[in-house]
Amino acid sequence: MEEGIVALVTAPLIIFLIFVAPIWLILHYRSKKQVNQGLTTEEYASLQELADKAEKMSDRIKTLEAILDSEAPEWRNRA
């Protein structure tokens, strides 16, 4: 009876250790290496472009708020 239970637990454990664990470790450390390398030039350029767009949008929002403040001073209290 106990031999059957041990075999039932041992077989999946051995399969896990032979097949799953090595692949898991390889993929884990490969992803760690990519994270530690930092941004690629394409990623950096994309990030810079998004930062520029965010800055422009911030300026536009400030302009719109200034217009609304002058034309409808109570607009902030409506929300």
* Sign of the torsion formed by the C-alpha atoms of 31, 36, 37 and 42: positive
Task: Please give the single-letter amino acid code of residue 35.
Answer: V
What pLDDT is recorded for position 79?
Answer: 63
Q: How many Å apart are CA 56 and CA 62, to the nearest integer?
A: 10
What is the 8-class DSSP label of residue 19? Answer: I
Which region, left, alpha or beta, applies to residue 40 given φ > 0 means left and ψ of -120 to 50 means alpha? beta
pLDDT per residue as tens, the chain (79 positions): 678 788 888 988 999 999 999 999 999 999 888 777 777 889 899 999 999 999 999 999 999 999 999 999 898 888 6
User: Tokens 């999946």 label which residue?
Assistant: 12
Domain positions in the chain: 1-38, 39-79
